Amino acid sequence: MIPPRITAWLVWFGDRINPILVKETRQALKSRQFTGTFMLLLAASLVVSFGGVALIGPEIAYRASGGNFFVAYFAVLAFAIFVVVPFGAYRSLAAEQEERTFELLSITTLSPGQIVIGKLLSAIIQMFIYFSAIAPFMAFTYLLKGIDVLAIAFELVWALMGSVAFSMAGLLLATFSTRRSWQVLLSVVMITGLGLATIGSVPLAWELTGEIGGIMRDPEFWLAMAALVTAYVITFALVYQLSVSQLTFESDNRSSKVRIVLAIQFLTGLAWTGWTWIIAEPGDREVLYIAAFMGCFFWAITGSFLLAEPAGISRRVARQIPGNSVVRAFTGLFFPGPGTGLAFVLVHLLCIASLVAFAEFVEIWIAPVVGPNWRIRGTRGQATAVTFAAVSYTFFYLGLGALFVKLIRRFRPVPPVAGAAITAILAAFGSLIPNFFIMAMRPAHYQIYEFWQITDPGTTIDQIFTKPNILSPLVLVPVAMAGLVLLLNLPGMAREVCFLNAAGRQRLAPAQPTEKRADDAADVLPPVASRATEVISNPT
Amino acid sequence: MVEVRDLHRYFGSLKAVNDVSFQIGRGQVFGFIGPNGAGKTTTMRILATIDVPTSGDAFIDGYSVVNDPDKVRRIIGFMPDHFATYPNVNCWEYVDFYARAYGLRGQARLSAVRRVMSFTELDGLAEKPIEGLSKGMKQRLCLSRAMIHDPKVLILDEPAAGLDPRARIELRELIKLLAADGKAILISSHILTELAEMCEVVGIIELGQIVATGPVDSIQATNRTVAVMEIRVLRDSELVERWLREQPDVDDVEASGRNITFHFPADEEAQSQLLERMGAARLPLVSFRSREENLEDVFMAVTKGKVQ
């Protein structure tokens, strides 16, 4: 007999559990797929146990065979947690879109975040059930020697994190399209990716099982783990936020939170790079190159989506613009729009260029004074010149993409994915066409760099590496190209900023019904300026 | 309670909804009529905050569907034209899930589930898997879901589609009860005779535009210029037929035994004068009436059958 107090607490707790989790758990417990996978997992584990023991024979008493058994169990578990659970999470959300149950869900009081979290939690519950099924077998491997508890725990924790990450990625993938044909294609992509991840995880587990004990004693290992966990958490947050924004109502703000996560991701990367730069060998500038290239790559990918955000801000979003001009100045770049998106990327790219230049300045001019044994490796100014060129190319192609998207939007709508594709195609053309002509015109051993290859970032940056000079045309021309596309994009960017300013200053009033509700009588907003209203309907 | 104002929704060059405006009062049942592809479902989806208008706005109890969809969602119940469900779920679990999704907790949730299941007479089928329900029962379940949070406004898209006559009558009674409870109801249907019985006001939409709106009688009066008159005579029907053909404004005279029908202006003054003349001519008249026009006649009169 359960005491009434505990019953009351259980009811209280049950009411506060995510409704999606409650529904999905109820469904899972009745589904054949869940029962089938669970039974299959148990059966496979039993087969591994009996088969392994029979194969090893009497030697099991003195041979350290725990590691082998562990990897075999891991392979069984990997199928369940790397394929079945993430694909189940993907299908669960994709089916909501296909069957149009998501529409009904979206008009309840559940937020898109609650829907995503609910789906993820139900996947995690399934993971734990599969883990619990295989836990006795894992304990069995420890008794067989050849693997220690720390190694088992380490691999299982990463397996769990991997499964959660795959499930989250599956949920994001499910939001990409509501069309059945696209869902079929995405299912194939998902299954292939998960299959490859599962196949790859088993040899990795094998390697780790043998090596992990020794590696764990190295302090750098834990530093690397900390960096990995940071990257995992922040990337997870980004994927989650992207899923939520995909499911958010069209007139709501789909962009600001994604931009906040991107900025945090950038700052985290910057912090780790800074730390690595400080602890690296004096004068070693590889960290700077890696940071610059990774930073440019990161903003090239994310920027290509941001520049194709829908033009115009809904009245609902406009009402969120801060009235205070100082707050508005700091938060303006986080509001949706292709112009603010491009400006957002530009600020971060400039940040990369400035920091690398500052780091190299410190290495060349300050460090030798502070530490007499300091010796710079490579040519002076190389990192700055390379970074300036990389940053300029990134912005040039993004800006060009933004102009093309704007042009195409005069005739037809362009979704962000198409905008990203347009930018990628432009970058590919700019990079490949000059090289194609070089290859067609000259034999391989005469193929030297020609100036008209300037649109190709790869070969141009390679040239800068060999002849680094910040004032060389190879650096100045890409900077000028970036400046030119900035100038061409400037009117659009300025218009968006002006609109944000106007909307923030005038606190746009929403449209009102003919008969106002009685409780709304006090909620009177200042009059709407005609200019701001006009910009809302056609901001570009 | 519901105000739709200058609503537009374009899909590329297709103007699915093109300047639609109407209002629905508390406790009023508004029938939304139109051929397939006329823009009914798109309008309803905008009101349900599933879609957004290209321009214009709609207000539910004063809240804009564009600017305050979260607030609108708390006060509307939407029943789409398709039944969306989940596998491995029974009736009670289905309704309970939506009760949780609408933020109902504890006793309030349990009593809300009981209330709607009792109202739709599904309480006996609580444990039955949804897959095993008949079409009529599924529609009832769908209505339960839409009502679970006791919304002020119900938007019902083709709720009677595919139902047998008994289920239709039962649904109609349920809707009347809901309206009596003060809820504003927007309902679309192809079965116009049924709509006429339960709707006080109708809106007829074609090619994304409202072509007529208001009480059924008022639309009839506005659109009716010619009435079909029916008379019955005691004898001499050929004589009466001949007499009628000679009268001004009388067209399409047809006799069938002692019954004669003809077209005549809908103006009641003119009809009264014609009756007076018939009396003066000492015609052996037994009855004289204008045939009642139903919603189907009105619909056919105001729409042109165009699709986009």
In a domain, A226, yes or no: no
Cβ pair A15:B59 closer than 8 A: no
Cβ pair B106:A15 closer than 8 A: yes
Reference A248, options A92, A371, A128, A115; nearest CA is A115
Name the residue of chain A whose CA is nearest to B86's CA: A101
Residue pLDDT, tens place only, B69-123: 888 999 999 998 888 788 888 999 999 999 999 988 888 899 999 988 888 888 8
Cβ pair A23:B64 closer than 8 A: no
Reference A390, options A427, A425, A429, A343; nearest CA is A427
* B49 contacts in chain A (CB < 8 Å): 107, 249
CA A246 to chain centre: 14
Residue after which a domain boundary falls, among A217, A232, A255: A217
Report B:43-72 residues touching A (Cβ under 8 A): 48-52, 55, 57, 59, 61-62, 64, 66-70
What is the C-alpha to C-alpha distance for residues A398 and A422, in angstroms, rounded to an integer? 10
In a domain, A179, yes or no: yes
Contact B117, B94 (CB under 8 A): no
In a domain, A374, yes or no: yes
Contact A352, A295 (CB under 8 A): yes
Name the residue of chain A whose CA is nearest to B103's CA: A109
Cβ pair B102:A109 closer than 8 A: yes
Same domain (yes/no): A168, A281? no
Domain count for chain A, please give it. Answer: 2
* A26 contacts in chain B (CB < 8 Å): 88-89, 93
Q: Which of A1-10, A315-324, A415-424, A493-502 has the highest mean pLDDT?
A: A415-424
Give B129→chain A minimum CA distance, Å.
11
Contact A48, A72 (CB under 8 A): yes
Give B283→chain A minimum CA distance, Å.
56
pLDDT at A528: 33
The CA-atom distances, in angstroms, between B246 and each of A20, A109, B252, B255 are 76, 69, 12, 15
Least confident residue range of A95-99, A385-389, B217-221: B217-221
Residue after which a domain boundary falls, among A165, A195, A217: A217
Residue after which a domain boundary falls, among A169, A197, A217: A217
Q: Is A367 in a helix, a strand, or coil?
A: helix
> Which of B7, B67, B73, B149 to mutate to probe the A interface, most A CBs <10 Å?
B67
The CA-atom distances, in angstroms, between A486 and each of A451, A478, A483, B114 are 22, 12, 5, 63
pLDDT at A379 over 70: no
Q: Does A525 touch chain B (CB under 8 A)?
A: no
Whether complex ipTM tops 0.95: no
Expressed as residue numbers, the domain containing A464 is 247-535
Same domain (yes/no): A211, A254? no
Average pLDDT over residues A219-241: 90
Side by side, which strands form the sheet with B2-11? B14-24, B2-11, B55-60, B63-64
> Which of B8, B76, B83, B88 to mutate to probe the A interface, most A CBs <10 Å?
B88
Residue pLDDT, tens place only, A167-198: 999 999 998 877 778 888 889 999 999 999 99
pLDDT at A445: 63
In a domain, A99, yes or no: yes
Confidence tier at B244 by pLDDT (50, 70, 90): confident
Same domain (yes/no): A210, A271? no
Name the residue of chain B whose CA is nearest to A31's CA: B88
Same domain (yes/no): A254, A211? no
Average pLDDT over residues B11-39: 85
Q: Which of A389-393, B80-84, B263-267 has the highest mean pLDDT?
A: A389-393
CB-based burial label for A220 (10 Å; 0-12, 13-18, 19+): exposed
In a domain, A78, yes or no: yes
pLDDT at A532: 36
In a domain, A448, yes or no: yes
Q: Does A27 touch chain B (CB under 8 A)?
A: yes
Same domain (yes/no): A494, A411? yes
Residue pLDDT, tens place only, B117-158: 888 888 888 888 888 888 888 888 888 899 899 899 999 988
pLDDT at A57 over 90: no
Same domain (yes/no): A136, A277? no
What is the C-alpha to C-alpha distance for residues A525 and A527, in angstroms, rounded to an integer? 6
Nearest-CB residue to B101 (from A12, A110, A517): A110
pLDDT at A471 over 90: no
Report A:243-272 residues touching B (Cβ under 8 A): 249-252
CA-derived radius of gyration, chain A: 28
What is the C-alpha to C-alpha distance for residues A87 and A166, in angstroms, rounded to an integer? 8
Average pLDDT over residues A263-276: 90
In a domain, A232, yes or no: no
Name the residue of chain A whose CA is nearest to B59's CA: A513
Same domain (yes/no): A150, A262? no
In a domain, A224, yes or no: no
Vertex B222 angle, CA B217 and B223, to 5°: 100
Nearest-CB residue to B98 (from A108, A251, A314): A108
Same domain (yes/no): A437, A496? yes
Residue pLDDT, tens place only, A316-372: 787 778 877 888 888 888 888 899 999 999 999 999 999 988 888 887 777 666 665
Among all chains, which residue has been given the structure tokens 């947690």? A81
Residue A451 CB partners (closer than 8 Å, separation 6+): A473
* A515 contacts in chain B (CB < 8 Å): 3, 62
Average pLDDT over residues A38-53: 90
Contact B105, A8 (CB under 8 A): no
Same domain (yes/no): A267, A129? no
Q: Does B100 touch chain A (CB under 8 A)?
A: yes
Give A316→chain B minimum CA distance, Å.
5
More confident residue, A394 or A138: A394
pLDDT at B170: 80
Confidence tier at A510 by pLDDT (50, 70, 90): low
Contact B139, B80 (CB under 8 A): no
Query: Percentage of chain B with pLDDT > 90?
Result: 11
Same domain (yes/no): A182, A262? no
Cβ pair A249:B49 closer than 8 A: yes
Confidence tier at A378 by pLDDT (50, 70, 90): low
Nearest-CB residue to B78 (from A107, A315, A412): A107
Contact B64, B73 (CB under 8 A): no
Name the residue of chain B whose CA is nearest to A252's CA: B67
Same domain (yes/no): A283, A204? no
Vertex A199 angle, CA A194 and A203, to 5°: 140
Quote the crossing angle between the two packed helices A382-408 and A457-466, to the nearest 10°: 170
Both structure tokens of A438: 């070089």
Nearest-CB residue to B50 (from A22, A103, A512): A103
Quote the crossing angle between the two packed helices A286-306 and A382-408, to the nearest 10°: 10
Among all chains, which residue has been given the structure tokens 């700019």? A430
Nearest-CB residue to A27 (from B59, B68, B89): B89
pLDDT at A374: 57
What is the C-alpha to C-alpha distance for residues A435 and A207, in angstroms, rounded to an integer? 41
What is the C-alpha to C-alpha distance for residues B140 and B124, in angstroms, rounded to an integer? 13
Same domain (yes/no): A200, A73? yes
Q: Is A38 in a helix, a strand, or coil?
A: helix
